[in-house]
Structure 1
């Protein structure tokens, strides 16, 4: 009887912990999704300014680029949920144009570091499914 009670308590503690973690990640994801283009642009520019040792002039130019393309992406995403594949294609096109414009502002060393940061991010992601994709073998 003692063993059953201890096991039950252990299961309840584990379940409570898992539920709390799920709520935290949901709140974080919701907060992330609700940021404005201006907030996203400021965050990205600040991170790149630190990582790439940008000058003030470069920082201002990159902020303008980030804001311009963040607003474009928001417009595409707000247009509707029916055409997901078309949205993905358009977002990729916008991202490619943004990268090209950013590279015109940066030095060769900064471009190399930016590419390195992008590769590191891709490696961290690994084989995780992208948002909206289902994992195979489940469900």
Structure 2
């Protein structure tokens, strides 16, 4: 069983809150949503309830969530997160517009943690499957 408090504590220590005006509540909420989304995705793939996710997956889950946070800049201030591709530049009175970026919530809801390199293959070792693929549910007696 994955210890969610331990996971939250370690994710928090590896991704400290930036001093950008983001409140502690917002920071905690973003991390909480992210951890719950990842654990929900893992439990759905493994066909187990969240409480039954094997402890052996803890390091992999911690690495996936931490790398995803850093790759998607989810905890950075809006100004830094939104400094992506430029959509327009105006020279008179200097204006630079950036392409519309996603909010933290929309990035989290669209996150595909299972596509992280090698993570799905790791999860396959722990996946519970009731019936083999292609087998009918009601086999005739033999």
Query: Shorter-normalised TM-score: what interval?
Result: 0.3 to 0.5
Higher share in helix: 1
RCO higher in structure (CA 8 A, sep ≥6): 2
TM-score (ref. length: structure 2): 0.34
Q: Which protein shows a greater Rg?
A: 1
